[in-house]
A and B are shown apart, each in its own frame.
Chain A
Amino acid sequence: MSERRAIPFRGGGFNPVPRRLLPWIVFFLLIAAWQAASSAGLLPALFMPSPAAVIDALYVLWTNGTLAQHVGASLGRIIPGWIIGTGVGLAAGLAMGIFSAARAAGLPIVSALFPIPKIALLPLLILWFGIGEPSKIATIALGVFFPTVISAYSACDSVPRNLIRMGQSFGLPATDIVAKIVLPGAMPGILAGFRISASVALLLLVAAEMIGAQYGIGAFVLAAGNLMQTDQLLAGVVMLSILGLLISWGLGSVERSVLRWR
C-alpha cells in the first residue's frame, strides 16, 4: 500500500453569505476618503464640496425650513401620482391578466405606449392641465401606469394553472378563484412591480420639477446648480437618495408582511 493522501478540497464558494459590518465599513471609508481629499485641498470646493459642507448645508436647509418646503412639494406630487398610476394600472393589468378579451384589447395599446419616455408627454400634459400640479402628477401617474399594467398581468400569468384547476375541481365559483387563488398568487409579482414603478415615479418627479416648478427637490437641485451652490445641490441629491431608500424600505416591509408565507 502506498502513502495515504487527503483528497484535495475543491468545493465551496459561489454562495453569498451576509456580512453585517462590511457594508458600513466600506460606506464610511468612502466618505472618510472623500472628506480627507477635500481637507487636503485635493478637491476644489466649488466643484466637489466636502461631505462636511454637504451635511452643513443640509442642517441649514433643515433649520430654516427650506428643506421641508421642497420635500413637502415633492411628496405632494409623487404620492398622488404613484397612487393614481398604480390604482388604474392594477385595475387594467389584472383585467388583462384575467380576461382574454381585455388582454387582446389592451396589449397592443400598452406595448405601443410603454416605450415612450413619459417626460416627453409633459408639454402636452401642461397644455391639457396647465403648468401647475396636475400636469406633474399626471406625468408621474402615466409613467407608473404602464409598468404596473405589465407586472400585474404577467403576475397573473405566473400563477400555476394547476392551482386554478384545483379550485375548479372543488367547485369554487370564478370570483372565488380570482380572489383566493389568482390574486394572492399574483401578489409577489405585483409587489416586485411596485419597486420598479416607484423608481420610475422618482425619476419623473425630478425631471418634471426641473422643467417647471418653484418648489420641489428637482427644482431646488436645478436652482442650486444655476447659482453654483454645489453644497446645496448635493444636499438635494442626498435628500433624493434618502427618499429612494425610504420608499424601498417601506415596500420591503410591505412585502415581508404580505408575503410572509414565502
Chain B
Amino acid sequence: MPLHIEKVSHGYGPVEALADVSLDIADGETVALIGPSGCGKSTLLGILGGLLQPSSGRVTLSGAPPADSLNPFTYIFQDFALLPWRSVADNVALALEHRALGASERRERIAASLAMTGLSDFAAAYPKQLSGGMRQRVGIARALVVRPAVLLLDEPLSALDAQTRELLMEDLLAIWAREKSTRVYVTHNLEEAARLADRIVVLSRRPGRIRDVITIDVPVAERGRSEHAGLLLDVHRRLWSLIRDEAATADREMQRV
C-alpha cells in the first residue's frame, strides 16, 4: 500500500523532534529510517501508525488495504511488548480477539503465524520462559497474524545480542519473501539497514530532516551472497560518513540534557 509522508513536523513541547519530512513509500517496499539518537525516527514511526498526532503535515495512503488485513498498520516493538500473563499463543491471539472472526479461522491464523516464526512447539510457554530472540519472534508472530499491509518495525532487534540479531535478520528475510507487506524499519544499526532495506532514509540529528536517501539495487534476498559483500561494506561506509559527525554531536547533546 503506497504511503505518502507530506511535510510532517512534530514537536514535544518546545523540543522540535521532526522538521518538514516528506517521503513517498512504494507498495511492497522496505524503507529503513536511520539516524543518530533523538533524530525523531521513532516519532515518525509513531505518526505513521496513528499512535502520534503530528504537529503539522500528514500521512496519507493511496489504494485500499487488502481485504484480509485486520490491522493494516501493525507494529513490531523494540521491547517486544508481550503480555507476561499470557502464553505465546494467547499473546498472538490478543491481536484477533476483538475482530469478527470465526473460531476456526482464528485458530488457523494463529497456527500459521506460529509456524512461520518457528514457535509451534512453544505455543503454551510464557514470555519469561523464553529467550529475547524467541520473545521477539512472538512479537513478529502477533504482527503477522493480522496480515498487515504496512509493517512498522521500531528497532526490532536492538534489544538482542549480536548472534540472535543475525538469526532474526535471516528469519525476517525468509518471512518477507512470503509476506507481501510494505515495511518501515527504524534502526540505528547500519548493518541491519544495509541488509534488510530497499531504500535507506538518513535523518539528521534533532530536529530530524531527511539528509539523504540511499537506494540499494540488489534484492534483499541476494545480499547474503559473497559477491555482494563489497556492496554492503560500501553502503555501510557511506551511511557512516553521513551519520558520524551528527552522531557525535547528538551524543554530546544527550550528555547535557
Contact = CB atoms under 8 A, between A and B. Distances in A.
B51 A169 contact: yes
Interface stretch (A97-105, A145-153, A171-179): A171-179
B98 A181 contact: no
Interface stretch (A42-50, A158-166, A208-216, A236-244): A158-166
A170 B71 contact: yes
B12 interface: no
Instruction: Pick the most buried of A170, A184, A187, A262: most chain B CB atoms within 10 A of its CB.
Output: A170
B207 to A, nearest CB: 23
B77 A166 contact: yes
Interface residues of B, number: 22
B95 A184 contact: no
Given A163-B81, A163-B83, A261-B84, A171 B71 contact: yes
Contact of A261 (B49, B74, B77, B126): B126
Contact of B97 (A176, A259, A261): A176
Interface in A222-262: 259, 261-262
Nearest to B73: A169
Interface string B68-104: 0011011101010101111000000011011000000
A162 B154 CA distance: 12
Given A162-B77, A170-B74, A170-B146, A261 B95 contact: no
B238 interface: no
A169 B142 CA distance: 12
Contacts of B71: 169-171
Contacts of A171: 70-71, 98
Contacts of A170: 71, 74, 94-95, 142, 146
B128 interface: yes
A15 B233 CA distance: 48
State which size class the interface on A falls in: 20 to 34
B21 to A, nearest CB: 21
A168 B142 CA distance: 14
A162 B76 CA distance: 12
Contact of A165 (B81, B94, B97): B81
A176 B95 CA distance: 11
Contacts of B97: 176, 180
Contact of A180 (B77, B83, B126): B83
Contacts of B146: 170
Interface string B162-202: 00000000000000000000000000000000000000000
Contacts of A162: 77, 79, 81
A167 B146 CA distance: 13
Interface in B89-138: 94-95, 97-98, 126, 128
B241 to A, nearest CB: 34
A173 B99 CA distance: 10
A184 B85 contact: yes
B220 to A, nearest CB: 25
Given A162-B79, A173-B98, A261 B85 contact: yes
B81 A176 contact: no
A38 to B, nearest CB: 51
Interface in A116-174: 162-163, 165-173
A232 B146 CA distance: 68
A254 B146 CA distance: 35
A171 B128 CA distance: 25
B98 A169 contact: no
B110 to A, nearest CB: 14
A168 B51 contact: yes
A178 to B, nearest CB: 13
A262 B86 CA distance: 11
Contacts of B70: 171
A262 B98 contact: no
Contacts of A180: 83, 94, 97
27 contacts: A162-B79, A163-B81, A163-B83, A165-B81, A166-B77, A166-B81, A168-B51, A169-B71, A169-B73, A169-B74, A169-B75, A170-B74, A170-B146, A171-B70, A171-B71, A172-B94, A176-B98, A180-B94, A180-B97, A181-B83, A184-B83, A184-B85, A185-B85, A187-B85, A259-B85, A261-B84, A262-B128
Given A162-B79, A170-B74, A261-B86, 9 more contacts: A169-B75, A171-B71, A171-B98, A172-B94, A176-B98, A185-B83, A185-B85, A259-B85, A261-B128
Interface of B: 49, 51, 70-71, 73-75, 77, 79, 81, 83-86, 94-95, 97-98, 126, 128, 142, 146
The 9 closest A-B pairs by CB, nearest first: A166-B81, A261-B85, A169-B75, A170-B95, A184-B85, A162-B81, A261-B126, A171-B71, A176-B98
Interface of A: 162-163, 165-173, 176, 180-181, 184-185, 187, 259, 261-262
